[in-house]
């Protein structure tokens, strides 16, 4: 697995030498970036009312047709949406190897992020359909994960006739790539 | 009702113990802008939210924050495994060790135990959602600062993920305010508190 170097070059903490700014709002890209990331997409801009009311806070609403990362990329970036991917000092995580654990976590993460989007965009029927697609893939990934690591939910424990719910490792414990 | 999933939201696999770093990461467990406060804030604010999209969002983000609390606990636990006595002498971790050994206790990096005084549930949707915007920004800055301090790539991998979540949640809370505004008096959103269902 490719690792990021321990020390990243840092943007200056004081003003003066202004870092190069991009229209995406991403400050300072030191690492090589893909073509997609170099081109600010239209959906970096959200929707604001034409006239705002005084004494009111406004955050632009995300557009309904935003570009999305594939689930494995969204997972390491912490968002499904390139338009919301605003890393500190251009530091981004590399993709993780494809293991049953990472596949399941990536799909569950995509569902969770999309669900929060849907909470504020409940009329986006395409996104509802996508949520259902993720859910179906997630069920498959969960079966593959549990075959290797045991039950995730207590309701699925004991299926082999022993109380496997308490088997180590627990999630917070250190173990090598699993 | 909550059901435990026996897995983390995002993998935490810290190869090298580093108690000094743990004594700073602990702030996102029990510090003023940490994940414990975040989950309590959102899960508690739900009760006075009058509209479905706001109830749903606070439930979903509050639940995710509980998962983040578990991840921060996992980082601290793994950073403090197999430590030796030399790690305790003249180390910033020494003071923590005296009180908590290598247990995971909700406290700020500066040594102040978790206090609910660092969060608010005001019972007014606009006020609470504005608090939530600020809370996400403050947590984002804490992750920025931890990323500036830490040179452990395993830890930073997780911190970058958690930091990005703060930005996404800021966006969602901002959208929630727009949804709220659409429900209120369009000329004066402060005309009344929609959480108060007063008898006439």
Q: What is the pLDDT of residues A74-93, one digit of tens each?
A: 999 999 999 999 999 999 99
**Which tokens hold the place of B139?**
């947590």
pLDDT over 90 at A135, yes or no? yes
| Chain B residues lying within 8 Å of A122, measured CB to CB | 53
Q: Report pLDDT for A125.
A: 97
**Three-class secondary structure of residue A52 per DSSP:** coil
Contact B165, B64 (CB under 8 A): yes
B119 touches chain A (CB under 8 A): no
Residue A110 φ/ψ region, left for φ over 0, alpha for ψ in the -120 to 50 degree band, beta for the rest: alpha
Give the mean pLDDT of A60-79: 97
Partner residue opposite B7 with nearest CB, options A5, A61, A152: A152
pLDDT over 50 at A57, yes or no? yes
The CA distance from A88 to the nearest CA of chain B, in Å, is 7
**Which tokens hold the place of A91?**
């530091």
Q: Report pLDDT for A17.
A: 41
Regions of chain B with pLDDT less than 50 = none
Answer whether B167 sits within 8 Å of A165, measured CB to CB: no
Answer whether B8 sits within 8 Å of A154, measured CB to CB: no
| Chain B residues lying within 8 Å of A92, measured CB to CB | 160
Give the mean pLDDT of A119-143: 98
Tell me how far apart the alpha carbons of residues A153 and B5 are, in angstroms, rounded to a whole number: 5
Higher per-residue confidence, B156 vs A3: B156
pLDDT over 60 at A7, yes or no? no
The CA distance from B92 to the nearest CA of chain A, in Å, is 22
pLDDT over 80 at A31, yes or no? no
B164 touches chain A (CB under 8 A): yes
Note the Cα A35 to chain centre separation in Å. Answer: 20
Give the mean pLDDT of A105-123: 98
pTM: 0.90
The CA distance from A133 to the nearest CA of chain B, in Å, is 19
The CA distance from B154 to the nearest CA of chain A, in Å, is 9
The CA distance from A42 to the nearest CA of chain B, in Å, is 17
Answer whether A59 sits within 8 Å of B171, measured CB to CB: yes
Strand partners, A142: none
| Chain B residues lying within 8 Å of A78, measured CB to CB | 160-165, 168
Q: Report phi then psi at B179, rounded to 5.
A: -60, -40
Partner residue opposite A93 with nearest CB, options B3, B160, B176: B160
ipTM over 0.90: yes
Q: How confident is the model at residue A42 (pLDDT cuts 50, 70, 90)?
A: confident
Answer whether A93 sits within 8 Å of B148, measured CB to CB: no
Mean pLDDT of chain A: 84
pLDDT over 90 at A32, yes or no? no
> Which class for A78: exposed (0-12), middle (13-18), buried (19 or more C-beta within 10 A)?
buried
**Which tokens hold the place of B125?**
């949707």
Tell me how far apart the alpha carbons of residues B153 and B157 are, in angstroms, rounded to a whole number: 6
Residue B36's nearest CA partner among B4, B78, B68 is B68
Q: Report pLDDT for A34.
A: 53
User: Which residue of chain B comes nearest to A86, CA vs CA?
Assistant: B164
Q: Which helix (H) or strand (E) holds B107?
A: none
């Amino acid at each position: 697995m490719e690792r990021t170097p321990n020390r990243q070059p840092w943007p200056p903490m004081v003003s003066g030498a202004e870092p190069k700014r991009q229209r995406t709002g991403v400050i300072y890209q030191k690492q090589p970036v893909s073509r997609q990331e170099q081109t600010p997409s239209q959906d970096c801009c959200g929707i604001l009312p034409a006239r705002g009311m005084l004494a009111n806070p406004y955050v632009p609403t995300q557009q309904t047709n935003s570009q999305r990362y594939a689930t494995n990329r969204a997972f390491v970036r912490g968002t499904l949406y390139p338009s919301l991917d605003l890393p500190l000092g251009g530091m981004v995580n590399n993709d993780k190897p494809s293991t049953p654990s990472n596949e399941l976590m990536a799909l569950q993460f995509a569902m969770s992020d999309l669900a929060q989007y849907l909470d504020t965009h409940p009329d986006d029927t395409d996104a509802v359909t996508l949520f259902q697609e993720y859910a179906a893939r997630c069920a498959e990934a969960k079966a593959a994960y549990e075959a290797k690591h045991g039950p995730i939910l207590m309701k699925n424990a004991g299926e082999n006739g022993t109380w496997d719910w308490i088997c180590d490792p627990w999630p917070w414990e250190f173990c090598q790539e699993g | 009702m909550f059901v435990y999933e026996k897995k983390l939201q995002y993998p935490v696999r810290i190869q090298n113990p580093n108690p000094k770093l743990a004594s700073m990461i602990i702030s996102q467990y029990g510090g003023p802008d940490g994940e414990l406060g975040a989950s309590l804030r959102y899960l508690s604010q739900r009760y006075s939210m009058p509209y479905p999209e706001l109830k749903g969002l606070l439930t979903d983000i509050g639940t995710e924050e509980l998962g983040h609390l578990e991840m921060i606990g996992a980082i601290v636990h793994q950073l403090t495994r197999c430590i030796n006595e030399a790690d305790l002498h003249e180390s910033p971790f020494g003071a923590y060790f005296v009180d908590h050994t290598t247990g995971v206790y909700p406290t700020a990096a500066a040594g102040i135990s978790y206090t609910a005084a660092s969060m608010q549930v005001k019972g007014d949707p606009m006020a609470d959602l504005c608090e939530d915007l600020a809370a996400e920004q403050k947590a984002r800055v804490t992750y920025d600062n931890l990323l500036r301090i830490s040179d452990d790539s395993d830890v930073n991998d997780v911190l970058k993920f958690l930091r990005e979540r703060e930005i996404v949640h800021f966006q969602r809370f901002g959208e929630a305010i727009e949804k709220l505004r659409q429900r209120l008096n369009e000329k004066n959103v402060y005309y009344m508190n929609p959480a108060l269902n007063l008898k006439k």
